[in-house]
Amino acid sequence: MVIDEKAKILSHTLTGPGYRFLVLEAPQLAKVLVPGQFVHVKIPSLEESALRRPFSVFDADDGKVTLLYKDVGRGTSALTKAKEGEELLVMGPLGHGFPSSCKGTPLLIGGGYGVAPLHFLAKQLVKNNCKETPILFVGGRTKDDILAIEYFERLGVQVFLASNDGSIGEKGFVTLPLDAKLAELKKDGKDFELFTCGPDGLLKAVSDRALDCNMPGWISMDRHMICGVGACFACIQAIRLPDGSVYNARCCVNGPVFKAKEIVWETK
Protein backbone atom coordinates (compact mmCIF):
# COMPACT_ATOMS: atom_id res chain seq x y z
CA MET A 1 0.00 0.00 0.00
CA VAL A 2 1.27 3.46 -0.89
CA ILE A 3 1.61 5.85 2.05
CA ASP A 4 1.89 9.64 1.96
CA GLU A 5 3.80 10.31 5.16
CA LYS A 6 4.43 13.70 6.73
CA ALA A 7 8.14 13.44 7.45
CA LYS A 8 10.16 15.72 9.72
CA ILE A 9 13.64 16.72 8.56
CA LEU A 10 16.12 15.42 11.14
CA SER A 11 19.19 16.65 9.29
CA HIS A 12 20.06 18.14 5.91
CA THR A 13 23.75 18.30 5.12
CA LEU A 14 26.05 18.98 2.19
CA THR A 15 28.17 15.92 1.33
CA GLY A 16 29.95 17.03 -1.84
CA PRO A 17 29.65 19.85 -4.37
CA GLY A 18 25.90 20.00 -5.04
CA TYR A 19 25.09 16.75 -3.22
CA ARG A 20 23.12 16.57 0.02
CA PHE A 21 21.95 14.00 2.52
CA LEU A 22 18.37 14.49 3.71
CA VAL A 23 17.48 12.44 6.78
CA LEU A 24 13.75 12.20 7.46
CA GLU A 25 11.76 10.91 10.40
CA ALA A 26 9.37 8.64 8.52
CA PRO A 27 8.65 5.55 10.63
CA GLN A 28 5.88 4.14 8.42
CA LEU A 29 7.94 4.32 5.23
CA ALA A 30 11.14 3.17 6.92
CA LYS A 31 9.38 -0.07 7.83
CA VAL A 32 8.19 -0.97 4.34
CA LEU A 33 10.72 0.39 1.81
CA VAL A 34 13.00 -2.09 0.06
CA PRO A 35 16.23 -1.30 -1.83
CA GLY A 36 15.64 0.04 -5.32
CA GLN A 37 12.18 1.41 -4.59
CA PHE A 38 11.76 5.16 -4.66
CA VAL A 39 9.77 7.89 -2.93
CA HIS A 40 7.99 10.91 -4.40
CA VAL A 41 8.75 14.07 -2.45
CA LYS A 42 6.63 17.21 -2.27
CA ILE A 43 9.08 20.10 -2.15
CA PRO A 44 7.87 22.47 0.61
CA SER A 45 8.82 25.85 -0.92
CA LEU A 46 7.36 25.15 -4.40
CA GLU A 47 3.81 26.17 -5.27
CA GLU A 48 1.02 23.78 -4.23
CA SER A 49 0.48 22.56 -7.83
CA ALA A 50 4.18 21.76 -8.41
CA LEU A 51 5.02 18.18 -9.33
CA ARG A 52 6.69 15.94 -6.81
CA ARG A 53 10.25 14.75 -7.46
CA PRO A 54 11.33 11.08 -7.35
CA PHE A 55 14.31 9.97 -5.24
CA SER A 56 15.84 6.59 -4.49
CA VAL A 57 16.37 5.56 -0.90
CA PHE A 58 19.90 5.62 0.49
CA ASP A 59 18.81 4.06 3.77
CA ALA A 60 15.62 3.14 5.61
CA ASP A 61 16.14 2.03 9.15
CA ASP A 62 15.19 2.79 12.73
CA GLY A 63 12.25 5.01 11.75
CA LYS A 64 14.41 7.12 9.44
CA VAL A 65 14.58 7.43 5.67
CA THR A 66 17.74 8.92 4.16
CA LEU A 67 17.95 10.39 0.66
CA LEU A 68 21.09 11.43 -1.21
CA TYR A 69 20.33 14.00 -3.87
CA LYS A 70 21.99 16.33 -6.32
CA ASP A 71 20.89 19.90 -6.89
CA VAL A 72 20.24 19.93 -10.64
CA GLY A 73 17.27 22.24 -11.23
CA ARG A 74 14.22 24.06 -9.91
CA GLY A 75 12.88 21.34 -7.62
CA THR A 76 16.12 20.08 -6.13
CA SER A 77 17.38 23.65 -5.75
CA ALA A 78 14.21 24.55 -3.78
CA LEU A 79 14.70 21.40 -1.71
CA THR A 80 18.16 22.62 -0.60
CA LYS A 81 16.36 25.44 1.29
CA ALA A 82 14.39 23.00 3.50
CA LYS A 83 15.51 23.27 7.12
CA GLU A 84 15.89 20.85 10.01
CA GLY A 85 12.57 20.51 11.88
CA GLU A 86 10.51 21.34 8.76
CA GLU A 87 8.00 18.74 7.52
CA LEU A 88 7.46 17.51 3.98
CA LEU A 89 5.20 14.92 2.37
CA VAL A 90 6.88 11.77 1.14
CA MET A 91 4.94 9.20 -0.88
CA GLY A 92 6.06 5.59 -1.09
CA PRO A 93 7.00 2.85 -1.34
CA LEU A 94 6.93 3.20 -5.14
CA GLY A 95 8.02 0.77 -7.84
CA HIS A 96 9.77 -2.57 -7.77
CA GLY A 97 13.22 -2.77 -6.23
CA PHE A 98 16.22 -5.09 -6.42
CA PRO A 99 16.00 -8.71 -5.26
CA SER A 100 17.06 -9.01 -1.63
CA SER A 101 19.25 -12.07 -2.10
CA CYS A 102 21.98 -12.98 -4.56
CA LYS A 103 23.49 -16.15 -5.98
CA GLY A 104 27.26 -15.67 -6.00
CA THR A 105 29.08 -12.38 -5.56
CA PRO A 106 26.95 -9.21 -5.74
CA LEU A 107 28.69 -6.65 -7.96
CA LEU A 108 27.20 -3.19 -7.40
CA ILE A 109 28.02 -0.56 -10.02
CA GLY A 110 27.04 3.08 -9.55
CA GLY A 111 27.56 6.55 -10.88
CA GLY A 112 26.72 9.88 -9.17
CA TYR A 113 23.60 9.70 -7.01
CA GLY A 114 23.14 6.17 -8.39
CA VAL A 115 25.06 4.95 -5.34
CA ALA A 116 21.99 5.81 -3.22
CA PRO A 117 19.90 2.65 -3.84
CA LEU A 118 23.10 0.56 -3.99
CA HIS A 119 23.94 1.52 -0.40
CA PHE A 120 20.50 0.40 0.83
CA LEU A 121 20.94 -2.78 -1.22
CA ALA A 122 24.44 -3.48 0.15
CA LYS A 123 23.14 -3.04 3.70
CA GLN A 124 20.26 -5.44 3.03
CA LEU A 125 22.49 -8.07 1.38
CA VAL A 126 24.92 -7.95 4.32
CA LYS A 127 22.01 -8.13 6.80
CA ASN A 128 20.52 -11.11 4.92
CA ASN A 129 23.86 -12.93 5.30
CA CYS A 130 24.43 -13.10 1.57
CA LYS A 131 27.20 -15.72 1.14
CA GLU A 132 29.60 -13.33 -0.58
CA THR A 133 30.18 -9.74 0.57
CA PRO A 134 29.11 -7.19 -2.07
CA ILE A 135 31.77 -5.42 -4.14
CA LEU A 136 31.15 -1.82 -5.20
CA PHE A 137 32.39 -0.08 -8.36
CA VAL A 138 31.84 3.66 -8.58
CA GLY A 139 32.67 5.99 -11.42
CA GLY A 140 32.41 9.74 -11.88
CA ARG A 141 33.79 12.60 -13.90
CA THR A 142 36.00 13.75 -10.99
CA LYS A 143 36.50 12.87 -7.31
CA ASP A 144 33.64 15.30 -6.51
CA ASP A 145 31.15 12.89 -8.11
CA ILE A 146 32.25 9.94 -5.98
CA LEU A 147 29.99 9.90 -2.96
CA ALA A 148 29.35 8.16 0.34
CA ILE A 149 32.08 5.55 -0.09
CA GLU A 150 32.73 5.43 3.68
CA TYR A 151 29.17 4.17 4.26
CA PHE A 152 29.88 1.13 2.06
CA GLU A 153 33.28 0.54 3.67
CA ARG A 154 31.61 0.48 7.10
CA LEU A 155 29.51 -2.44 5.83
CA GLY A 156 32.69 -4.31 4.88
CA VAL A 157 32.12 -3.74 1.16
CA GLN A 158 35.24 -3.70 -1.03
CA VAL A 159 35.28 -0.55 -3.16
CA PHE A 160 36.82 0.12 -6.59
CA LEU A 161 36.83 3.66 -7.95
CA ALA A 162 37.39 5.27 -11.33
CA SER A 163 37.24 8.87 -12.52
CA ASN A 164 37.48 10.35 -16.00
CA ASP A 165 40.20 12.80 -14.94
CA GLY A 166 42.10 10.35 -12.73
CA SER A 167 41.56 12.53 -9.61
CA ILE A 168 40.47 9.41 -7.73
CA GLY A 169 40.83 5.68 -8.45
CA GLU A 170 41.66 4.44 -11.94
CA LYS A 171 41.68 6.97 -14.77
CA GLY A 172 38.84 6.19 -17.14
CA PHE A 173 35.45 4.54 -16.94
CA VAL A 174 34.35 2.37 -14.04
CA THR A 175 34.11 -0.53 -16.48
CA LEU A 176 37.95 -0.79 -16.24
CA PRO A 177 38.01 -2.17 -12.66
CA LEU A 178 34.69 -3.94 -13.29
CA ASP A 179 36.06 -5.82 -16.32
CA ALA A 180 39.16 -6.86 -14.37
CA LYS A 181 36.94 -8.31 -11.61
CA LEU A 182 34.66 -10.05 -14.13
CA ALA A 183 37.69 -11.69 -15.76
CA GLU A 184 38.90 -12.88 -12.34
CA LEU A 185 35.50 -14.29 -11.33
CA LYS A 186 35.05 -16.01 -14.70
CA LYS A 187 38.56 -17.53 -14.50
CA ASP A 188 37.71 -18.93 -11.04
CA GLY A 189 34.34 -20.21 -12.31
CA LYS A 190 32.44 -18.13 -9.75
CA ASP A 191 28.84 -16.97 -10.03
CA PHE A 192 27.95 -13.32 -9.66
CA GLU A 193 25.08 -10.88 -10.21
CA LEU A 194 25.30 -7.28 -11.38
CA PHE A 195 23.22 -4.49 -9.84
CA THR A 196 23.43 -0.98 -11.22
CA CYS A 197 22.05 2.54 -10.98
CA GLY A 198 23.41 5.65 -12.68
CA PRO A 199 23.50 7.36 -16.07
CA ASP A 200 22.16 5.46 -19.11
CA GLY A 201 25.63 4.86 -20.60
CA LEU A 202 26.67 3.02 -17.46
CA LEU A 203 23.41 1.07 -17.27
CA LYS A 204 23.82 -0.11 -20.85
CA ALA A 205 27.49 -1.05 -20.30
CA VAL A 206 26.57 -3.12 -17.24
CA SER A 207 23.57 -4.65 -18.96
CA ASP A 208 25.76 -5.72 -21.93
CA ARG A 209 28.25 -7.37 -19.56
CA ALA A 210 25.51 -9.25 -17.70
CA LEU A 211 24.24 -10.63 -21.02
CA ASP A 212 27.76 -11.44 -22.30
CA CYS A 213 28.58 -13.34 -19.10
CA ASN A 214 25.13 -14.95 -18.98
CA MET A 215 24.72 -13.80 -15.38
CA PRO A 216 21.73 -11.93 -13.86
CA GLY A 217 21.83 -8.15 -14.25
CA TRP A 218 19.49 -5.81 -12.35
CA ILE A 219 19.22 -2.38 -13.92
CA SER A 220 17.57 0.59 -12.18
CA MET A 221 16.25 2.88 -14.93
CA ASP A 222 16.28 6.62 -14.29
CA ARG A 223 13.48 8.13 -16.36
CA HIS A 224 11.76 11.48 -16.06
CA MET A 225 8.64 10.98 -14.02
CA ILE A 226 5.53 13.06 -13.52
CA CYS A 227 2.93 11.19 -11.49
CA GLY A 228 5.14 8.39 -10.09
CA VAL A 229 2.17 6.03 -9.83
CA GLY A 230 1.49 4.77 -13.36
CA ALA A 231 -1.08 7.30 -14.55
CA CYS A 232 0.74 9.62 -16.98
CA PHE A 233 2.98 7.35 -19.14
CA ALA A 234 5.87 9.86 -18.91
CA CYS A 235 8.37 7.20 -17.87
CA ILE A 236 8.05 4.64 -20.66
CA GLN A 237 10.76 2.03 -21.31
CA ALA A 238 10.55 -0.66 -24.00
CA ILE A 239 10.70 -4.09 -22.37
CA ARG A 240 10.98 -7.48 -24.08
CA LEU A 241 8.77 -10.22 -22.65
CA PRO A 242 9.89 -13.89 -22.56
CA ASP A 243 7.75 -14.63 -25.67
CA GLY A 244 9.77 -12.01 -27.61
CA SER A 245 7.05 -9.36 -27.75
CA VAL A 246 7.89 -5.82 -26.69
CA TYR A 247 5.72 -3.56 -24.56
CA ASN A 248 6.01 -0.05 -23.15
CA ALA A 249 6.61 -0.52 -19.43
CA ARG A 250 6.14 2.36 -17.02
CA CYS A 251 9.32 2.65 -14.98
CA CYS A 252 7.45 3.99 -11.95
CA VAL A 253 5.23 0.94 -11.52
CA ASN A 254 6.84 -1.85 -13.57
CA GLY A 255 10.38 -0.74 -12.57
CA PRO A 256 12.49 1.16 -11.89
CA VAL A 257 14.50 -2.07 -11.58
CA PHE A 258 14.37 -4.38 -14.61
CA LYS A 259 16.29 -7.47 -15.63
CA ALA A 260 19.13 -6.75 -18.09
CA LYS A 261 17.71 -9.25 -20.57
CA GLU A 262 14.35 -7.42 -20.63
CA ILE A 263 15.55 -3.97 -21.65
CA VAL A 264 15.30 -2.84 -25.27
CA TRP A 265 17.85 -0.03 -25.57
CA GLU A 266 17.14 2.85 -27.90
CA THR A 267 19.51 2.91 -30.86
CA LYS A 268 20.73 6.45 -31.45
Ligand X SMILES: Cc1cc2nc3c(=O)[nH]c(=O)nc-3n(C[C@H](O)[C@H](O)[C@H](O)COP(=O)(O)OP(=O)(O)OC[C@H]3O[C@@H](n4cnc5c(N)ncnc54)[C@H](O)[C@@H]3O)c2cc1C
Interface contacts to ligand FES, rule CB under 6 A: 225-228, 230-235, 250, 252
Beta carbon nearer to ligand X, 103 or 223: 223
- Out of ligand FES, ligand X, none, what residue 113 binds, judged by CB under 5 to 8 A for its kind, is ligand X
Tell me which residue has its CB nearest to ligand X: 73
Minimum distance between the CB of residue 8 and ligand FES, rounded to whole angstroms?
Answer: 27
Neighbours of 134 (CB within 10 A): 25
Minimum distance between the CB of residue 166 and ligand FES, rounded to whole angstroms?
Answer: 38
Instruction: Say how many Å lie between the first and final Cα of the chain, rounded.
Output: 38
- Out of ligand FES, ligand X, none, what residue 232 binds, judged by CB under 5 to 8 A for its kind, is ligand FES
Spatial distance between the Cα atoms of 103 and 185, rounded to a whole number of angstroms: 13
Report residue 67: phi and psi, to 5°.
Answer: -115, 150
- Transcribe 53-94 into DSSP letters: EEEE-SEEETTEEEEEEE--SHHHHHHTT--TT-EEEEEEEE
Listed in sequence order, the DSSP H helices in the chain are 27-32, 74-79, 115-127, 149-154, 175-187, 200-213, 251-254
Name the site residues for ligand X (rule: CB under 6 A): 38, 53-56, 68-70, 72-77, 113, 116, 222-225, 256
Minimum distance between the CB of residue 212 and ligand X, rounded to whole angstroms?
Answer: 26
- Out of ligand X, ligand FES, none, what residue 51 binds, judged by CB under 5 to 8 A for its kind, is none
- Out of ligand FES, ligand X, none, what residue 42 binds, judged by CB under 5 to 8 A for its kind, is none
